[in-house]
Structure 1
């Protein structure tokens, strides 16, 4: 999927919502535990209830890996279900991989060949040769960690040398590895005030923005500082949507929560684009 195709989805749905499928077996409604695959059953209902409001879904792999083989099976069934029923949706593997080239080749094969994700999150710490193997897959994306929303981001990401913060150096250097049709960046919503400065470095790249909702990030601030002419944003919301309801009407409640976010996004697109 190209950035233009992604933007067309955003315009059609008036939404730049990415729903995080952080599906915790300990938090899903109890009635699903009697099904043959509770994780997939939960994901399926969430996806069916929200697919027309979102442009992307982002399974966080830790929630699936923690269940061993059964979790991987649930993940594969989830991706296949989206591919078959809603093929225009963008699917992100939130894996945060990053290793030497040989290993990255196999990570890329796993997520792009075996699992057919559109994108994978990648950590930049090991440098160019740990990232470039992912670019060998045409139509697939690297989403590089740049400025994260967690408290620990202050430990390293804001370190400054010659008036340049470390996350700025990461963006400036890595932007030469890919292009606007195969590389995005993670920028946390709780750091929304930095988006304007980041846009000066990469005005045309898409940004994946977590931290809206349960983590307290402001969607208004993200849009004001981060939107570009092609929107250029995928804003992720996970817990606020998928756990909006805890009983048999959980999917209905998830839709209501997603609709509230989508409607706000529609207004922001009209306001700033």
Structure 2
């Protein structure tokens, strides 16, 4: 999916919501555990409930790889289901890959050829040759880690050199020599707040994938105030805040799915309000 197509979906749906498919079998409704593929069954329920309110889905590979072959089959089935039943939704594999060039080439082949997702999260810290293999695919996106939402982001990402340039700013500026705003996005945590102003000084036109709204306490309004651009330029992710709206034993499947939809719709309505300000 190219940028024009993504932007078209955002304004058609009045949403820039990305739903994170981070499935924890300890939290999903108990009746689904009886299914042959409970992860996929849960994902189908969530996708059906949230599709009208979001433009993207982001399965996190850690939540599939931890279950071995069965987990990876669930991941593959989820991607196939999205591409067949919801082909206009943007699919991000949150895998945070990145290695020496020939290894990155194989990672790129895995996600852009075998699974044929739209985008992949990539760690930038091994430099140009670890990122470029992902950028050779037409209408595919690399989403580089830039300024993340976790507490430990301060350990390295905010460190300054002798000129006062912070490490995340170096990542932003240097990586623009490898890709552009048509094939590269950046991960910026919602908890960074006003720091989005600094991000936009270095990367004024790139899309930003923004985790940390909801369970991690990031403010959607603050993200939009400092990070939104004329064609939106944001994909805001929510995972736990949508996936687990009630205790797995306290409501039946219909009620559970309804509450999942309500959580997604609430965020979509907030996003519609922000888009109207453009």
Report the equivalent of 1:62.
Answer: 62
Task: State the secondary structure of the residue aligned to 2:121.
Answer: strand
After superposition, residues 46-195 of structure 1 pair within 5 angstroms as 46-161=46-161, 162-195=163-196
Worse-matched range after superposition: 90-99 or 245-254: 245-254
Task: State the secondary structure of the residue aligned to 2:196.
Answer: helix
Report the equivalent of 1:224.
Answer: 225
Residue 98 of structure 1: how far off its partner (Å): 1.0
The Cα offsets for residues 116-146 of structure 1, whole Å up to 9 and x where unpaired, read as 1100000001000000000111111000000
Matched, 1:237 2:238: yes
For the residues of structure 2 that align with 1:173 and 1:250, how far apart are their CA atoms?
45
Matched, 1:38 2:44: no
Task: State the secondary structure of the residue aligned to 1:258.
Answer: helix
Aligned residues: 272
Residue 151 of structure 1: how far off its partner (Å): 0.4
Matched, 1:18 2:18: yes
Residue 15 of structure 1: how far off its partner (Å): 0.3
Task: State the secondary structure of the residue aligned to 2:257.
Answer: helix
TM-score (ref. length: structure 1): 0.98
After superposition, residues 193-212 of structure 1 pair within 5 angstroms as 193-212=194-213
The Cα offsets for residues 92-123 of structure 1, whole Å up to 9 and x where unpaired, read as 00000110010000100111111111000000
For the residues of structure 2 that align with 1:35 and 1:163, how far apart are their CA atoms?
55
Task: State the secondary structure of the residue aligned to 1:131.
Answer: helix
Residue 32 of structure 1: how far off its partner (Å): 0.4
Task: State the secondary structure of the residue aligned to 1:20.
Answer: strand
For the residues of structure 1 that align with 2:215 and 2:244, how far apart are their CA atoms?
11
Residue 220 of structure 1: how far off its partner (Å): 0.2
The Cα offsets for residues 49-105 of structure 1, whole Å up to 9 and x where unpaired, read as 111100000000000000000000000000000000110100000000110010000
Residue 192 of structure 1: how far off its partner (Å): 1.8
Task: State the secondary structure of the residue aligned to 2:229.
Answer: coil
Residue 175 of structure 1: how far off its partner (Å): 1.2
The Cα offsets for residues 153-207 of structure 1, whole Å up to 9 and x where unpaired, read as 0100010011100000110000111011110000000002111111111111100
Report the equivalent of 2:272.
Answer: 266
For the residues of structure 2 that align with 1:176 and 1:10, how far apart are their CA atoms?
28
Structure 1 unaligned spans of 5+? none
RMSD over aligned CA atoms reads: 0.7
Residue 4 of structure 1: how far off its partner (Å): 1.3
TM-score (ref. length: structure 2): 0.97
